Structure 1
Amino acid sequence: MPTIRGPSPIHLTGSAPMRHPNPRVPLGLRNTIAILCFVTLFSGGLSAADAPNRLLRAGAHAIDITPTEFPVSSAGSMTHRLADKAHDPLHARCLVLDNGETQIALVTCDSCMIPREVYDAAKELASKATGIPVDHILCSATHTHTAVTAAPTFQSLVQEDYLDFLSQRIAEGITKAQSQLEPARVGTAVGNNPRQVFNRRWFLRPGFPIQDPFDNGTDRVRMNPSANSKSLLQPAGPVDPEIPILAVQAIDGRPIALWANYSLHYVGGVPAKSLSADYFGEFARQFTRLIDGQKTEPAFVAAMTNGTSGNINNINFFEGSERQQPFEQIRLVASDVAGSAHVAYERVEYEDWVPLKIKEAEIELGVRRPDAKELARAEKLIEEAGPGPYTDRRLIYANETLDMAKYPATVQVKLQAIRIGGLGIVSSPCETFVETGLAIKKNSPLKPTFTIELANGYNGYLPTAEQHALGGYETWRAKSSYLAVDSAAKVQETLLSLLDEVAR
């Protein structure tokens, strides 16, 4: 069985790759000839010196990141799970854009969450192979809860020998996408689908107690209460039904890529021993079929990135719903969302050249570490219970408390803002609450703007200060939620500042 290891507060990239891809970067004679022909035919009155700066090129590639050996550790649970097969392939979907002045790469991976060290290694490899600057690459995870465990959370054991494999495959995917650069056009539009997103944090009626694993008794909301229950009062926050899209096509109209964004945590309904890309992978397949893109060469790449979905899921708490067979809810959601994205796609107006800008910043955020009293309580609970693994929530979080005591007082997080014509994209390394995403959209100088979460690292949930005050699962201190209460405000402020810079 492949190597697995337990959680640790400081994560280092593994050293035993599952495969040894050999990233290469040749542009290829065919692409070179095509570019020269395009410049000759379409440069018009531009001088030879100016023509390359007005040429937009794009290339996309979806590279398989499914593990080659089983069983493997499967992420997304409070207890360790092993998967013995993949129901559908996992991919790192890569898009490279080049306007003659700037090159940027966007990557989204079918993974629950990926540590910064893995992304940083992938970016270094890709940059050496392609010349794209490290700070011009945005990598993210979709947040499928049935991918290989890459980051330590709760009692999941990291699949150590997958990490180098993942970094190398991401780099290889970027390299392949760049090698397929060709003259292209881009456009944006915004779709809408309110049917598949629901706030999962609820106020309950008086008389219905809300428990927490620390025995504080101060929570005012419950995450994932029983649907259509008499206990329900109202959701504790909004949703974001928008589906912004970036469409990329060749000069002859052949589709190259679609980058979509939706604030939906994941769908689920996958058997415990299976890996799956969840609705993110199914969206890509369904959208490709909607535009008859199955036989394009190079292959068309559709990607669904995760928006700000830290408090959003697919459960209709208002009315409840029938339990579906495995994978059926994934199919239904993907079909509905792909249909909404396709409506927007039909409205896209393309541009032959757009400005490309990207800015990156690192900020320091505080860490909520346990005090002496909390640590003593956790030590007592674990001592009385004996060694894990644990199924009782009080013990699971007591174990997390012991881990959190080893964390540093602050952490550095990486944030990015990208401009693609009039479109703005920002990144967050967290499971970001929808309130933050809505505020960024409202105040951004670029329209439309969307946030890609779980990008460039993993730093747990990012509730707003107001949501922190309500308590609930997403605020419970653990490796999945440890940033200081003021972190969301700092992230939002920095991202809006970066947007102002790229908009100029």
Structure 2
Amino acid sequence: MSEKMDNKLKSKRKLVSGLPVSCLLLLFLALGIGRLSAQETKSDRTFKGGAALSVITPKVGTSINGNFKDDTVRHIHDDTHARSLVLDDGNTKIAMVTLDLCVVHRETLDNAKKRANKFTGIPIENMLISAIHTHSGGTACSVWQSEPDPDYLIFLEERTADAIIRANNNLEPARIGWGVGQEPSEVFNRRWKLKEGITFTNPFGGEDKVRMNPGFENPDLVGPAGPIDSEVPIISVKSVEGRTIAILANYSLHYVGGTKSGEISADYFAMFANRIGELVGADRQTPDFVGIMTNGTSGDINNINFGGSAPKPMKPYEKMAIVANTVAAEAYKVYQDITYHDWVPLAIVQKEISLGVRKADAKELKRANNILAAAKSDGSFSRDELYAREAIFLNDFPDQKQLILQAVQIGDLAITAVPCEVFVEIGLEIKAKSPFKQTFCISLANGYNGYLPTPKHHAWGGYETWRARSSYLEVNASNVITSNLLELLEQLKSSALTSR
């Protein structure tokens, strides 16, 4: 030890001798003795990120769902994908995946998670897999008149797992940041209140006070039956050298549509992913940049303003491109102002809950059977015949359905995940009551349990409340789910505070 250093230590010892313990602690901090900064506590941890794409395009000749009537794949406009992002804070790994599908059964996703876990070691409960809700993807769920090809479901399990495995293989030291923008121009509430005394007959012989997609310049309308959510949250992950690995965004828009019949397309979700990659200069790099657009709380939201005049007709895919470019421009604006972190804590909590299934009573079942008995035998169904058919299907459902709910923490950002087409009011309530600085919700995650209206909307009626495999949870389901999600968020927040 040098003489200069030895004298310095002696002077410090002389200064502190004889002082009370409380004074000693303050003095140690002032002199830098025993002080460990927050950054230094994390110096031995490396934050990592990895992303990957896997093609999940169905074969020509198989089923497309998204409409009452089944369609057949006759052409591939754009390949559909599993888009995966894996994050690792050195202690916890989380995988988030979107599938370019309308909806997908929980069983398929559970099998994919098991396969991914086998190869990566990522805990199954740390995987969040959601459908984007394109209405022009392969059929992965029994809904309306569409049935999935069993071979396609096996293919989906494998390719979904592969996306997680490949993203995990691509993990590298990374930095992460997030932010939120606003784009109100592309979202409209599609449920409209009807004037006093005006009702709309539902498939069960009752009268509704609200109508979905009621047409332009309809004189019977009062106004939208609910709000919108214009937020565009994004998460950006960059390599330590500055290469953008992935951007995950969220927007509460059902889908856009406007494809040609029989064509497979990932809708505006894929167009957004491509465009944001171009904007950040990451469209041609190795490993591939992965853009991800998750579906927010869009159960009652679409891209059509029924409060205005009818828009001019557009070519197929034209409207998709407009929406994708508009939302990508807003996301890019947010991206340019993001503050990145060398390390943030990751956490995820999961809870399985049980909810009741709405079923037809004996009288309603008799009515449904009578309707079907009088139906044509050519395989075509009217609206009321389709819902009579659904009543028969639901009668075979269990009385209770098990659902997975999740909450994810990334620093002071939180994400909730629900296996339903969630109404926008629910997402707005969760955002408002969340203990985190920024929160957003991913719908159609970890399975499919139909629409999630609030009890108020159930009372008003309308398509999204009509009992079918597309809407069967108990009337109070939204309150139960919201309460449980807020508890999970509080659990994450408490754990984060305790671990500081």
Deviation digits for residues 44-78 of structure 1, max 9, x if unmatched? x99xx9767521000001111112x3111001011
Q: Structure 2: 5+ residue runs without aligned partners?
A: 1-35, 495-500
Residue 279 of structure 1: how far off its partner (Å): 0.4
**Which residue of 2 is the match for residue 312 of structure 1?**
301
From 134, 141, 144, give the equivalent of 1:154.
Answer: 144
**Which residue of 1 is the match for residue 12 of structure 2?**
none
Taking the TM superposition and a 5 Å limit, the aligned residue runs for 1:327-338 are 327-338=317-328
* 2:226 maps to amino acid: G
C-alpha change, 1:388 and 1:352, in structure 2 (3 Å) is farther
SS of the equivalent of 1:61 reads: strand
For residues 231 and 41 of structure 2, the distance between their equivalents in structure 1, rounded to whole angstroms, comes to: 38
**Which residue of 2 is the match for residue 31 of structure 1?**
none
For residues 52 and 365 of structure 1, the distance between their equivalents in structure 2, rounded to whole angstroms, comes to: 45
**Which residue of 2 is the match for residue 487 of structure 1?**
477
**Which residue of 2 is the match for residue 26 of structure 1?**
none
C-alpha change, 1:52 and 1:59, in structure 2 (3 Å) is farther
**Which residue of 1 is the match for residue 291 of structure 2?**
302
**Which residue of 1 is the match for residue 16 of structure 2?**
none
From 179, 197, 202, give the equivalent of 2:192.
Answer: 202
**How many residues are treated as equivalent by the alignment?**
456
**Which residue of 1 is the match for residue 80 of structure 2?**
90
From 31, 45, 57, give the equivalent of 1:54.
Answer: 45
Tell me if the contact between 1:88 and 1:277 (Cα under 8 Å) persists in the aligned partners.
yes
Residue 154 of structure 1: how far off its partner (Å): 1.1
**Which residue of 2 is the match for residue 267 of structure 1?**
256
Tell me if the contact between 2:253 and 2:298 (Cα under 8 Å) persists in the aligned partners.
yes
For residues 185 and 41 of structure 2, the distance between their equivalents in structure 1, rounded to whole angstroms, comes to: 48
For residues 213 and 160 of structure 1, the distance between their equivalents in structure 2, rounded to whole angstroms, comes to: 31
Residue 228 of structure 1: how far off its partner (Å): 2.9
* 1:435 maps to amino acid: E
Q: TM-score, normalised by structure 2?
A: 0.89
For residues 62 and 502 of structure 1, the distance between their equivalents in structure 2, rounded to whole angstroms, comes to: 29
**Which residue of 1 is the match for residue 210 of structure 2?**
221
For residues 53 and 189 of structure 1, the distance between their equivalents in structure 2, rounded to whole angstroms, comes to: 27
Taking the TM superposition and a 5 Å limit, the aligned residue runs for 1:62-461 are 62-67=53-58, 69-206=59-196, 208-217=198-207, 219-319=208-308, 320-387=310-377, 389-461=379-451
Residue 390 of structure 1: how far off its partner (Å): 3.0
With 228-237 and 450-459 compared, the bigger mean Cα shift is at 228-237
For residues 388 and 134 of structure 1, the distance between their equivalents in structure 2, rounded to whole angstroms, comes to: 45
Residue 232 of structure 1: how far off its partner (Å): 2.3
Deviation digits for residues 85-124 of structure 1, max 9, x if unmatched? 2100101100000111100100001000010001000000
Residue 288 of structure 1: how far off its partner (Å): 0.8
Deviation digits for residues 209-250 of structure 1, max 9, x if unmatched? 412111112x10000010233232200000000011111001
For residues 197 and 429 of structure 2, the distance between their equivalents in structure 1, rounded to whole angstroms, comes to: 34
For residues 154 and 288 of structure 2, the distance between their equivalents in structure 1, rounded to whole angstroms, comes to: 26
Deviation digits for residues 246-268 of structure 1, max 9, x if unmatched? 11001111100001000000000
SS of the equivalent of 2:374 reads: helix
**Which residue of 1 is the match for residue 491 of structure 2?**
501
SS of the equivalent of 1:330 reads: helix
Tell me if the contact between 1:260 and 1:303 (Cα under 8 Å) persists in the aligned partners.
yes
Give RMSD over aligned pairs.
Answer: 1.4
Residue 142 of structure 1: how far off its partner (Å): 0.1
For residues 195 and 280 of structure 2, the distance between their equivalents in structure 1, rounded to whole angstroms, comes to: 47
Tell me if the contact between 2:258 and 2:319 (Cα under 8 Å) persists in the aligned partners.
yes
Q: TM-score, normalised by structure 1?
A: 0.89
**Which residue of 2 is the match for residue 24 of structure 1?**
none
Tell me if the contact between 2:199 and 2:210 (Cα under 8 Å) persists in the aligned partners.
no
For residues 290 and 321 of structure 1, the distance between their equivalents in structure 2, rounded to whole angstroms, comes to: 29
Whether 1:462 and 2:452 are equivalent positions in the alignment is yes
For residues 487 and 232 of structure 1, the distance between their equivalents in structure 2, rounded to whole angstroms, comes to: 28
Residue 352 of structure 1: how far off its partner (Å): 0.3
For residues 377 and 205 of structure 2, the distance between their equivalents in structure 1, rounded to whole angstroms, comes to: 21
SS of the equivalent of 1:195 reads: helix
For residues 270 and 401 of structure 2, the distance between their equivalents in structure 1, rounded to whole angstroms, comes to: 32
**Which residue of 2 is the match for residue 17 of structure 1?**
none
For residues 382 and 416 of structure 2, the distance between their equivalents in structure 1, rounded to whole angstroms, comes to: 38
Residue 206 of structure 1: how far off its partner (Å): 4.4
Tell me if the contact between 1:53 and 1:100 (Cα under 8 Å) persists in the aligned partners.
no
For residues 139 and 249 of structure 1, the distance between their equivalents in structure 2, rounded to whole angstroms, comes to: 22
Residue 132 of structure 1: how far off its partner (Å): 0.3
Tell me if the contact between 1:52 and 1:100 (Cα under 8 Å) persists in the aligned partners.
no
**Which residue of 1 is the match for residue 18 of structure 2?**
none
Deviation digits for residues 175-211 of structure 1, max 9, x if unmatched? 1101111110101100110000000000123464412
C-alpha change, 1:388 and 1:448, in structure 2 (3 Å) is farther
For residues 139 and 175 of structure 1, the distance between their equivalents in structure 2, rounded to whole angstroms, comes to: 14
With 383-392 and 417-426 compared, the bigger mean Cα shift is at 383-392
Tell me if the contact between 1:144 and 1:277 (Cα under 8 Å) persists in the aligned partners.
yes
For residues 443 and 137 of structure 1, the distance between their equivalents in structure 2, rounded to whole angstroms, comes to: 25
With 69-78 and 234-243 compared, the bigger mean Cα shift is at 69-78
SS of the equivalent of 2:129 reads: strand
Residue 386 of structure 1: how far off its partner (Å): 4.4
* 2:345 maps to amino acid: P
Residue 159 of structure 1: how far off its partner (Å): 2.3
* 2:419 maps to amino acid: P
**Which residue of 1 is the match for residue 25 of structure 2?**
none
SS of the equivalent of 1:233 reads: strand
Residue 457 of structure 1: how far off its partner (Å): 0.3
* 2:350 maps to amino acid: E
SS of the equivalent of 1:162 reads: helix
Tell me if the contact between 1:189 and 1:244 (Cα under 8 Å) persists in the aligned partners.
yes
C-alpha change, 1:333 and 1:100, in structure 2 (3 Å) is same
Residue 155 of structure 1: how far off its partner (Å): 1.1
SS of the equivalent of 1:144 reads: coil
SS of the equivalent of 1:125 reads: helix
Tell me if the contact between 2:42 and 2:343 (Cα under 8 Å) persists in the aligned partners.
no
Tell me if the contact between 2:420 and 2:448 (Cα under 8 Å) persists in the aligned partners.
yes
For residues 53 and 222 of structure 1, the distance between their equivalents in structure 2, rounded to whole angstroms, comes to: 57
